[in-house]
């Protein structure tokens, strides 16, 4: 294992999910939602990997995985807004970093249906956790639109990385998957 991979894993591993808070105090609405996914390593990695995995699987998975993630994220936020509790939501989010990291690390090829189902389950919890982070007085719709736009951009970055699927890049993708799984283990250890 290279020194760079170990260092990257350690640096990402020391970040806590609390870093997903915007820290901007007076920022509300769209921008608060938009900033949230970029500041939490758990959200950032999973959303990037969803696009990457869709690209690796190819075909309809290229757009079905990201679109399914976005739809179920919105549904998860809706559950939070109407007061329905999803137990252990943060644990599910941290677990998703491990699961999707291992999927990329092992270069796993699930059927489109199984891949979509897996993505949808974890997306529900990501959306729920995003909504739980909303500050008092923030309008729900602009906040949700903000984190959905940011998530779509992260998916597109993952797709872009997957499009450069030459052999050296494939090795980097697999290494990235293992780094994600390692970070996810650190996140799980924090619970």
- Cα 22 to Cα 10: distance, rounded to the nearest angstrom: 23
Report which of 111, 126, 142, 113 is spatially closest to residue 49, judged by C-alpha positions: 126
Q: Tell me, what's the pLDDT at 27?
A: 57
Q: What is the per-residue pLDDT for 35?
A: 92
The pLDDT value given to residue 77: 97
Residue appearing with tokens 């491990």:
98
**Positions in the chain short of pLDDT 50:** 6-7, 10-12, 14-26
Quote the radius of gyration of the chain (alpha carbons, Å): 16
């Amino acid at each position: 294992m290279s020194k760079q991979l170990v260092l990257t894993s350690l640096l990402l591993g020391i970040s806590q999910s609390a870093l997903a808070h915007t820290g901007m105090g007076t920022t509300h609405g769209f921008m608060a939602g938009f900033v949230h996914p970029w500041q939490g390593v758990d959200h950032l990695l999973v959303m990037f990997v969803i696009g990457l995995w869709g690209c690796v699987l190819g075909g309809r998975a290229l757009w079905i995985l990201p679109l399914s993630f976005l739809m179920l994220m919105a549904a998860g936020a809706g559950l939070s807004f109407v007061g329905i509790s999803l137990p252990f939501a943060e644990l599910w989010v941290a677990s998703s970093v491990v699961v999707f990291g291992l999927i990329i690390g092992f270069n796993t090829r699930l059927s489109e249906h199984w891949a979509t189902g897996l993505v949808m389950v974890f997306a529900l919890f990501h959306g729920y956790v995003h909504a739980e982070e909303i500050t008092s007085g923030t309008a729900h719709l602009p906040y949700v639109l903000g984190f959905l736009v940011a998530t779509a951009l992260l998916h597109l970055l993952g797709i872009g990385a997957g499009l450069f699927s030459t052999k050296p890049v494939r090795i980097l993708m697999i290494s990235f998957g293992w780094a994600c799984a390692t970070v996810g283990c650190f996140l799980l250890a924090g619970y």
